[in-house]
Chains A and B, each alone.
Chain A
Amino acid sequence: MNGEIETQINLKPSEMLLHLGPQHPLQPGPFLLDLVLEGETVKDATLEMGFIHKGIEKILENRTYLQCIPITDRMCYLASISNNEVFCSGVESLMGIEPTERAKYIRTIMLELTRIQSHLLGIGEYATDIGFLSMFLWMIREREPIISLLEMVTGARLNHSFVRFGGVAYDLPAGFKEKTLRTLNEIRKKVEKHDEIMSRDSVYLKRTKGVGVLSRKAAMELGVAGPAMRGSGVDYDIRKVDPYLLYPDLDFKVITAPNGDVFDRVKVRLSEILESIYIIEQCIDMIPGGPFKQGYNPYLIKPKPGEVYSRVEDPRGEMGMYIVSDGTFKPYRVKVRGPAFATMQALPPLLKGAYMADNAAIASSMDSCTSEVDR
């Protein structure tokens, strides 16, 4: 496998080929990054993916709609609720139903909690890669209370399989509101403190300011997604552009940062955590009563023939799913458009011309999830 690549790339005498991977200690999933170096500078970069390709699209074609939900969880396990959401909202629009009012609130709250925990882990991994191990430990410490909140509602730490067609699987447990507000208050204080550390530490600033700059125009051309895009000053957020659930009525800002360097991408994530906390605090007081799911028998879901493209804002950016139904119990074709796929694709051009030592910072500031790229 590696031999092939070496023969494909014609190296000059002053150049050197460096394999990074496929095992990466803290990136959630293996990928192979081949760098052609001249001295300290990266001349060329190639990515090889597919080390955890599981054939999810094929499996989905052979499952009933209800059985598909646990499989969609495992596409990107850091954002399983938004994966559920994109699948279920697609099937809902095929069936022509709407989630109940209470379910909409629950789903929005869960989506934002997922965003918080995913960003915390993403920043943690990035911090380790630039050699800031204590930040990683702090981030995981901050993440645990959020995980227990999610667990309180869904019963699982990861892979929640929580969203159903027209509703959610369970109602909110008693005491959820108080616990959430208390936890979020603490997280807010801590994240503000980390934000301060990250914007004042001179060593950290030297390592990240002006490194891996992705200009506004380049970001739009390369089609990166999510915080990587908004870190370059493009205010593109599916929650605003193509709103779903409660987002049309909610008050929130799209966080952007102007420079497009590593520092800005991480800054956007940190500020998004605060914004998500604000969204949850808006929703949690207004949860209406009523049923939390529609009275459908989930085992007998049979949407009308047709096709749909549904989109949500995953923690990593725009996530879409193209579902074709042929009127049977199983989907005919499912295609997943993952945000990490789009972002990973933009990595080789971004690494070109960077220093070898900055490479880890740039690569992990994109916060990719290999599992979702490979599927």
Chain B
Amino acid sequence: MNTTGELTLNMLKEKFQVTEMRVESPNRVWARIAPDKILAIAKFLSNELEFDHLSSIAGADYGEALEAVYQITAYSHGIVLTLKAKVPKSNPVIDSLTPVYWNAAWYEREAYELLGISFRGNPNLAPLVLPAEMMGEYPLRKDYKGYPNPT
């Protein structure tokens, strides 16, 4: 199947009512999605559009809201689809992608401990890189107090 970035976006638009989207270059497309649709979208992408490889999950802190950023791509073509989902800082919960992409597990653990986005359905949401006593400080948030730390 010959997927192009634009085609993918159009399909997403039809099926999931995605509104905000753009084509940045032939190989990079971008879309903002509703956080409760992420699992359905991932299932659709991997089953029907051959987007079978999750490249990374990042989180970002935008003041009042946190954003989960997914880079989904494929082994057969070079299109990287960036999906952004906004979650409120007071209750940052989003569905985990582990049922669709096995390798989401560690990316989600990392985003959880560094930014505090909690992934519902992740089998083991334990700290990965931080020592246990630093859990809950969320160092990558912009209002984190412990940086710089000249001790």
Contacts and interface: CB of A to CB of B under 8 A. Distances in A.
Contacts of A238: 78
Contacts of B59: 335
Interface residues of B, number: 38
Interface string A287-330: 00000000000000000000111010000001010101000000
A58 B130 contact: no
A113 B103 CA distance: 30
B150 interface: no
Given A53-B129, A58-B139, A322-B69, A222 B60 contact: no
Interface stretch (B2-10, B12-20, B47-55, B85-93): B47-55
Contacts of A337: 55-56, 58, 71
Interface in B126-146: 127-132, 139-140, 144
Contact of A322 (B27, B71, B75): B71
A221 B102 contact: yes
Chain A contact residues, majority secondary structure: mixed
Interface string B36-74: 000000000000000011111011110000000101000
A50 interface: yes
B71 A50 contact: no
A322 B139 contact: no
A4 interface: yes
A55 B141 CA distance: 12
Given A57-B140, A337-B71, A223 B103 contact: yes
Contacts of B105: 345
A320 B56 contact: yes
Contact of A324 (B54, B60, B130, B140): B60
Contacts of A4: 132
